[in-house]
Amino acid sequence: MENPWKEFADSIDYSNLVLKSEQNIIRDFNESLGPVDSDNYREYSIHTDIMPAPFMGDVYNSPIVLLTLNPGWDPKEAACGFYSKYSNEWLNMIQSPDVPLFCLGEDYIKYSPYWDYKLKPLIQLTGKDAVSKNISVIQFFPYQSKRFKPIGKRIYDGYLPSQRFNFELVQKAMERNAFIVIQRSTKLWCKAVAGLDVYEHKCQINNPRNPVLSKKNLGANFEKVVSRLKK
């Protein structure tokens, strides 16, 4: 499957940062949440004015792949201008998903320390360079919202094209025997990706509410991750 984000970049509309094939679906989903000033809308609406973040890092080659749910919209990050400041970096990343993680840069961390915090135990042991080059992240759903809510069969019955591309990335990771760490939503991932439930080189984080890649969260699998980073 072709990377759908290349076409997205070629005809980008900054007023609606959604794949063309998915725009009506996302619009219908947001409208189903009720008035824009309602709590339901504020919690679950998809922010179409922010660059999607379907994956990051060298997803084609990385020996370690993290699977999570969706990129969470953070009001603090919005207030400090994070989303606009790093819009171009995200656009470049989703067109060419074969470059190291850029979310560990010192300036980036000032605006959004999320991944620096989640990866800190590995960075302390192996260094930031090893982590950024050898770990990639794939989201189950590519668009940003404060909290995740499924689209629902009444609006769209099936997986979005952008999701199917990500599922193929996971399949390719399995084919190269990458070590897969499921940080969030194990049931959703195993249902979507054939063979993932029985894939040998994977583990589930112990605390998905705070998915830090630590010894406590990974148990014996922590050393497996570290060994891959040190190769």
For residue 231, what pLDDT band results from cuts at 50, 70 and 90?
confident
Output the pLDDT for position 99: 85
Q: Which residues contact 175 (CB under 8 A, 6 or more apart)?
A: none
Amino acid at the residue 216: K
Cα separation, 75 vs 23, whole angstroms: 23
pLDDT at 85 over 80: yes
Tell me the whole-structure pTM to 2 decimals.
Answer: 0.95
Output the pLDDT for position 95: 84
Closest CA to 132 of 58, 73, 72: 58
User: CA–CA distance from 228 to each of 104, 109, 131, 221, 225 (Å)?
Assistant: 19, 25, 10, 11, 5
For residue 98, what pLDDT band results from cuts at 50, 70 and 90?
confident
pLDDT-above-70 percentage for the chain: 100
DSSP state at residue 22? G
For residue 93, what pLDDT band results from cuts at 50, 70 and 90?
confident
Asked if 191 contacts 179 with a C-beta cutoff of 8 angstroms, the reply is no
Helix (H, G, I), strand (E, B), or coil: what is residue 101? coil
Beta strand 135-139 with 202-204: parallel, antiparallel or unpaired?
unpaired
Beta strand 64-68 with 179-182: parallel, antiparallel or unpaired?
parallel
Give the 3-state secondary structure percentages of the chain, helix then strand then coil, rounded to 5. 45, 10, 45
User: CA–CA distance from 67 to each of 15, 38, 70, 169, 225 (Å)?
Assistant: 29, 31, 9, 11, 14
